[in-house]
């Protein structure tokens, strides 16, 4: 674990602890709706405050883009922090534990297009932190310690992980086209991390997500040898300024399903 990844893991875990402290007294009706119709809770806001303050101290020169607010101009720097303080707010409200804290370090590569080069994903309810990045591989930290992870499974039938809250007919059609398979409902960016650690084969998403929902787990997946592919079958990249929404994507451990994925874009 290098120095920055260690610091980001600590920040994500601190934010997760704050979310857990809110959860202990949280009531399902205690949320507000933002302008885009998505829910926000005091847990989102408290986690955001912890992350923004910590990142500003770790690297004050690097702008921060977060679902709950930003600091600095991403276009003023070649690097940017991208965070989702509570990815899976609906899962938090429902009390199923399938939410995460996401922090990514992004590198600007072409005007306003960005790629994740380091990512930390912390699942507070499960006590698991996934992290990884360019040149360092991917790791999973849990109660048993820290160990290297890699994508790719030995499943006789592929295991597809999909949304708990946002399943669509297209998701079901794609799964049927895969043929014999197993399915598991998983929330938030945990889906992508499951592919990264080799406990699932793929995570397709035919639906709306934002850059902060996926970038941290994307970095972990790439470091573990997997790919997060856009509709054209190419590695996904991001716009942090004008269009924060992602296209449909497929998290996969290999190229076996790419042609099938592309066929299902029409």
pLDDT tens, residue by residue, 164-174: 766 788 988 99
**Cβ–Cβ under 8 Å, residues 217 and 119:** yes
Would 202 be classed as within a structural domain? yes
* 8 Å CB contact between 165 and 159: no
Is 73 contained in some domain?
yes
- Taking the C-alpha atoms of residue 85 and residue 91, their distance in angstroms, rounded to an integer, is 14
Cα 165 to chain centroid distance, Å, stands at 15
The reply to whether 83 and 213 lie within a common domain is no
> Which residues, other chains included, contact 254 with Cβ-Cβ below 8 Å and sequence gap of 6+?
151, 152, 226
Lowest mean pLDDT, pick from 6-15, 89-98, 187-196, 218-227: 89-98
Domain of residue 31 covers 3-149
Average the pLDDT over 31-48 and give the result.
89
Coil, helix or strand at residue 223: helix
* Domain identity same for 246 and 203: yes
Alpha carbon distance 210, 203 (integer Å): 16
The overall average pLDDT reported for the chain is: 94
Residue 85 lies in a domain: yes
Instruction: Flag the least confident range among 150-164, 218-232, 245-259.
Output: 150-164
Residue ending a domain, among 149, 177, 209, is 149
140 with 61, same domain?
yes
Q: Is 141 found in the same domain as 29? A: yes
| Final residue in a domain of this structure, among 102, 130, 149 | 149
Residue 93 covered by a domain: yes
221 and 95 belong to one structural domain: no
Structure tokens that stand for 123 in this block: 């699942």
CATH number assigned to the domain comprising residue 25: 3.30.540.10
Are 167 and 250 in a shared domain? yes
| Domain end position, chosen among 122, 149, 176 | 149
Is residue 49 a part of any domain in this protein? yes
Whether 87 and 137 map to the same domain: the answer is: yes
Q: Answer whether residue 251 shows pLDDT above 70.
A: yes
Same domain assignment for residues 183 and 97 = no
Instruction: Answer whether residue 35 shows pLDDT above 90.
Output: no
In the numeric block, which tokens belong to residue 107?
Answer: 């590198």
Same domain, 211 and 131: no
244 lies in some domain: yes
12 shares its domain with 141: yes
Quote the pTM value. Answer: 0.95
The enclosing domain of 239 has a CATH number of 3.40.190.80
- pLDDT number for residue 122: 99
Looking at the fold, whether 198 and 229 belong to one and the same domain comes out as yes
pLDDT band at 225 (very low <50, low <70, confident <90, very high): very high
The total of structural domains in the chain comes to 2
For residues 63-76, give the mean pLDDT: 94
Say yes or no to pLDDT of 29 above 80.
Answer: no
Identify whether residues 186 and 96 lie together within a single domain: no
What value does the mean pLDDT take over residues 63-79?
Answer: 94
Provide the pLDDT for residue 62: 98
pLDDT score, position 1: 61
**CB 243 within 8 Å of CB 208:** no
- Whether residue 83 is predicted with pLDDT greater than 80 in this model: the reply is yes
User: Per the domain annotation, does 154 fall within a domain?
Assistant: no
Please say if the pLDDT value at position 17 is more than 70.
Answer: yes
Q: Quick: pLDDT tens for 111-162.
A: 779 999 999 999 999 999 999 999 999 999 999 999 999 998 877 899 999 9
pLDDT of residue 143: 96
Judge whether residue 262 has pLDDT over 90: yes
């Amino acid at each position: 674990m290098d120095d920055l990844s260690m610091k980001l893991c600590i920040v994500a875990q601190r934010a997760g602890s704050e979310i857990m402290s809110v959860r202990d007294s949280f009531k399902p009706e205690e949320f507000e709706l933002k302008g885009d119709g998505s829910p926000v809770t005091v847990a989102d806001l408290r986690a955001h405050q912890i992350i923004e303050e910590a990142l500003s101290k770790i690297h004050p020169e690097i702008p921060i883009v977060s679902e709950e607010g930003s600091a600095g101009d991403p276009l003023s720097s070649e690097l940017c922090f991208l965070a989702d303080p509570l990815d899976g707010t609906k899962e938090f409200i429902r009390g199923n534990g399938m939410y995460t804290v996401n922090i990514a370090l992004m590198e600007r590569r072409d005007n306003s297009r960005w790629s994740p080069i380091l990512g930390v994903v912390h699942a507070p309810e499960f006590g698991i932190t996934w992290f990884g990045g360019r040149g360092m591989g991917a790791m999973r930290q849990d109660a048993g310690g820290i160990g290297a992870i890699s994508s790719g499974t030995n499943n006789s039938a592929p295991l597809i992980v999909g949304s708990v809250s946002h399943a669509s007919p297209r998701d079901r059609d794609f799964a049927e086209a895969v043929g014999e398979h197993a399915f598991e409902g998983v929330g938030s960016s945990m889906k992508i991390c499951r592919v990264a650690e080799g406990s699932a084969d793929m995570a397709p998403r035919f639906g709306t997500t934002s850059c902060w929902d996926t970038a941290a787990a994307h970095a972990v997946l790439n470091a573990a040898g997997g790919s997060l592919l856009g509709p054209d079958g190419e590695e996904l990249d991001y716009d942090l300024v004008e269009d924060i929404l992602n296209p449909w994507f497929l998290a996969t451990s290999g190229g076996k399903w790419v042609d099938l994925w592309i066929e299902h874009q029409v």
